[in-house]
Amino acid sequence: MVDHQLTEPSGARRPRARRWVVAVIVVGAVVGGGVALATRSGDHRVTTPQPGPPLQDAPTTTLGRPVATGAERWAPMAASPLSGRSDALTAWTGKELLVFRGDGAFSDAGGGEPGRTDGAAYDPARNRWRKLAAPPFDAKPPIFGAGYTSAWTGKELIVWGGPEPKAAAYDPVTDRWRELDAGPLEARVDVASAWTGKELVIYGGITHAAALTYEDEEDGDDDVPLDGGAAYDPVTGRWRRLPHSGAGRVGATAVWDGTDVLVVGGGSASAGSGTNGRHVLAWNPARNRWRTLASAPFVTATSVVWTGSRVVAAGYGHDMTSLRTFDPAANRWAVAPEPSKLPAGYRGRSELLGWSYPDLVWSGREVFVFWSGITNPEDPQPLPGLAFDPAAGTWRTLPASGLVRRNGSSSAWTGTELLLWGGAATTGFTSTPYADGARYRPGAGR
């Protein structure tokens, strides 16, 4: 998953950086189509889109998943060479789960650890990890130094960000990084990003300096959300600027629906710093234009997935016993049916669900929903999970995973099983990251 940052309740504080929501949109990161890459090193030209051949369509996350025939089960993942972390950049390559960067431990009283800079790849066929080659990025990033985003192109993992923006591409076949043109954007964090099948699109955010000097809610206009962004084409090695949408966003999520990049939630510059941008923004790459779609029925989106026909979103600020769905063709939001059976220990405990920052993973049939809540590292609880079938409107409870409750995990659907690794237990502004994981295979008929 891309670098998630979690939004805290109004008035809350975190040392040095605001905890906005940033999607890691696994949708774009894990299912990009293959392309041939040829980057022109040092080419900083920003191009205006010209008429040309149709865009390459990115495969949707509807994977044509075969019906499972074995027994439903969880199994532990092999021990990882990585230290515990949450909100890491994540991609499924078709063979390996890539986990790169991420946040370490932090506390309101004692500060926190510098962000992680290393990465590893997990091969589920062999149940093995391997370390990634050292990247050409900063060796000692600042604490809470969010601001990196990524996309899987089908061949390479493209990573962009940092206090002085850099871009690089990682090839898992050769285990090598190569530096790319960093593009025209100034340093920024908490961006919305998505992979279209042709371009990495980066939009919005706030300046890096504003995020790292954030102290309280009285910091004026330093953290006003940015408007505009840029898109990188790895085939040509060129960037092009996005036009302004008229409503900058910070901490928004973004997803590619096959036609438009949809930007959901986040703080809106047009509404004032830190307030909700309720309307969905849609950017069309062929026309290089924005349009405004229906207003979302929640404060902000903590996680979204694309099913091939609609967005399924977990919103912040309402009872998380239900999800929201958005049909861009009809331009309409709907409330998903509430689950008929909540995980054990959650019945009648809606306060545990209201601030739970769920992680969503789309399998091609179901949305896996993992509620984390404000957790306590000293009082571990099981990580509850449900599966929602958007076609049937039905829910089912997942068996125990063996993992304790957490948020910000790296997750991916491989085509046959779910991988879930890392994340952190959080109490207030104290976080304890984990370095364990588990893999889930649906049962017969799923």
Find the CATH number of the domain harbouring 116. 2.120.10.80
Hey, is 72 helix, strand or coil?
coil
Give me the residue label for tokens 């998380």: 320
Predicted confidence band at 208 (pLDDT cuts at 50, 70, 90)?
A: low
Kindly indicate the confidence band of residue 338, based on its pLDDT and cuts at 50, 70 and 90: confident
Range with the poorest average pLDDT among 12-16, 24-28, 165-169, 251-255: 12-16
More confident residue, 103 or 52: 103
pLDDT at 200: 98
Mean pLDDT of 229-240: 97
pTM exceeding 0.85: no
Domain membership flag for residue 445: no
Q: What does the pLDDT read at residue 343?
A: 53
Specify the pLDDT at position 218. Answer: 45
Q: Are 188 and 250 in contact (CB under 8 A)?
A: no
Which of residues 345 and 389 earns the better pLDDT score? 389
**What does the pLDDT average to over 184-198?**
93
Whether residue 397 lies inside any domain: the answer is no
Say if residue 105's pLDDT is above 80: yes
For the chain, what is the mean pLDDT? 76
Predicted local distance difference test score (pLDDT) of residue 377: 58
Sheet strands (E) in 225-285 = 229-233, 238-242, 249-250, 253-256, 261-264, 267-268, 279-284
Q: How many domains does the chain fold into? A: 1
Q: Say if 401 falls within a structural domain.
A: no
Residue 27 has pLDDT above 60, yes or no: no
Decide if pLDDT at 317 tops 80.
no
Residue 148 amino acid letter? Y
423 domain residue, yes or no: no
pLDDT at position 337: 81
What share of the chain has pLDDT > 90, as a percent? 45
Token pair of 354 as six digits: 């209201």
Within a domain: residue 97? yes
* Residue 94 DSSP code: S
- The answer to whether residue 292 sits within a structural domain is yes
| pLDDT at residue number 440 | 97
Residue 213 pLDDT exceeds 60: no
144 pLDDT above the threshold of 80: no
What domain range is 232 assigned to?
Answer: 26-60+87-344
**Residue 10: pLDDT above 90?**
no
Instruction: With cut-offs at 50, 70 and 90, classify the pLDDT of residue 107.
Output: confident
Question: Distances from the Cα of 377 to the Cαs of 108, 110, 300, 388, 427, in angstroms?
Answer: 15, 16, 26, 28, 7
Q: What pLDDT does residue 241 have?
A: 97
Whether residue 283 is contained in a domain is answered as yes
pLDDT at 156: 98
Higher-pLDDT residue of 347, 310: 310
With a cut of 50, say whether residue 192 has pLDDT above it: yes
